[in-house]
Amino acid sequence: MSINHREARESNQLIFGIRAVIEAIKSGKEIESLYLQRGLGGGLITDLKTLLHEYGITAQQVPVEKLDRLTPKNHQGAVAFISPIIYQKIENIIPEIFERGETPLVLVLDSITDVRNMGAIARTAECAGVHAIVIPAKGSAQINPDAVKTSAGALYKIPVCRHENFLQTIRFLQESGLQLVCCTEKTNDYIYKPDYTAPTAIVMGSEEDGVRNEIIRIADHLAKIPMFGEIESLNVSVATGVVLYEAIRQRNPTPSAP
């Protein structure tokens, strides 16, 4: 991608006005986030809400003051941010991986809210050969220009799958034959115990709350990174790199020196 194309793509993130948002959705633009004025009514807003339901897009109802802070222009009660990437569906990706004769390695990010962590994780995942990243539609960092920049462009290369029903998506991964390895401190087992040569989905949680309990309960393996110093945790992007490269080490064992 040329620098000029990228700059144009990353500088045109905000759109406002009900009709503008409607046309953006109809034209296939990926809506990263959408804010609607609380209590807004009328025929056009009804049309927009119908469209949101049809396309499965979630809008946040906010006070008009928030919209005024986002743009000083006449927003008509609707402000949206366009994603710099095109989201994909993991249901389409997993069969393709198997058809190519490859062993899936998927990274699931549960409530990673910092955009720079998201970017750094995507960069590591792309370097490690991860097939796809799965994130929830709610409670996840925006894929914005900061995230893309931090990823060194990896977010343009690795498929990112954003799903409304996150738990159902994770169950789909298991039903497709992937083992679910949750990285959590709520275990005595270390990250070296699972066999990552099998089809695998690795779940990383936020630094504040970790992986949610609903996912931990259905996991095939719980695993933690051993700690030997006084600080009890790693930054989530660093922790993700540690776990991913244990999986890569198992999948690509280094030959012994002659």
Residue pLDDT, tens place only, 217-233: 999 999 999 999 888 78
Task: Quote the pLDDT of residue 216.
Answer: 96
Q: Edge-to-edge strand order for the sheet containing 31-37?
A: 14-16, 78-82, 31-37, 60-62
Q: If you average pLDDT over residues 234-252, what whole number do you get? A: 95
Asked whether the CA dihedral 134, 135, 137, 142 is positive or negative, the reply is: negative
pLDDT at 13 over 90: no
DSSP 160-191: EEEESSHHHHHHHHHHTT-EEEEE-SS-S-BT
DSSP letter at 210 equals: B
* Encoded tokens for 182: 């949750």
pLDDT at 78 over 80: yes
Q: HSE of 255 in the Cβ direction (CA atoms, 13 Å)?
A: 2
Question: Token pair 């995507």 is at which residue?
Answer: 122
Q: Show the CA angle centred on residue 166, arms to residues 232 and 140, nearest 5°.
A: 55
Task: Quote the pLDDT of residue 256.
Answer: 53
3-class SS of residue 230:
coil
pLDDT at 181 over 50: yes
Confidence of residue 255 (pLDDT cuts 50, 70, 90): low
Confidence of residue 161 (pLDDT cuts 50, 70, 90): very high
> Which pTM was predicted?
0.83
Question: What does the radius of gyration of the chain's CA atoms come to, in whole angstroms?
Answer: 20
Task: Quote the pLDDT of residue 58.
Answer: 85
Q: If you average pLDDT over residues 4-24, what whole number do you get? A: 68
Domains annotated for the chain, with CATH where assigned, are: 3-82 (3.30.1330.30), 90-251 (3.40.1280.10)
Q: What is the mean pLDDT of the chain?
A: 89
Task: Quote the pLDDT of residue 244.
Answer: 97
> Residue 179 burial by CB count (10 A; 0-12/13-18/19+): exposed, middle or buried?
middle
* Secondary structure tally for the chain: helices H, strands E: 10, 10
pLDDT at 7 over 50: no
Question: What b/e sequence results for 68-99 when a residue is b if at least 16 CB atoms lie within 10 Å of its CB, and e otherwise?
Answer: eebeeeebbbbbbbbbbbebbebeebbeebee
Count of Cβ atoms closer than 10 Å to residue 117 Cβ: 22
| Closest to 151 measured CA to CA, from 180, 93, 199, 109 | 109
pLDDT at 248 over 90: yes
Cα separation, 25 vs 10, whole angstroms? 18
Confidence of residue 213 (pLDDT cuts 50, 70, 90): very high
Element (H or E) spanning 136, and its range?
strand 132-136
Question: Token pair 């996912």 is at which residue?
Answer: 215
Amino acid at 166: F
Confidence of residue 170 (pLDDT cuts 50, 70, 90): very high
Residue pLDDT, tens place only, 82-128: 888 989 999 999 999 999 999 999 999 998 999 999 999 999 999 99
What is the percent of the chain with per-residue pLDDT over 70, rounded to a whole number?
93
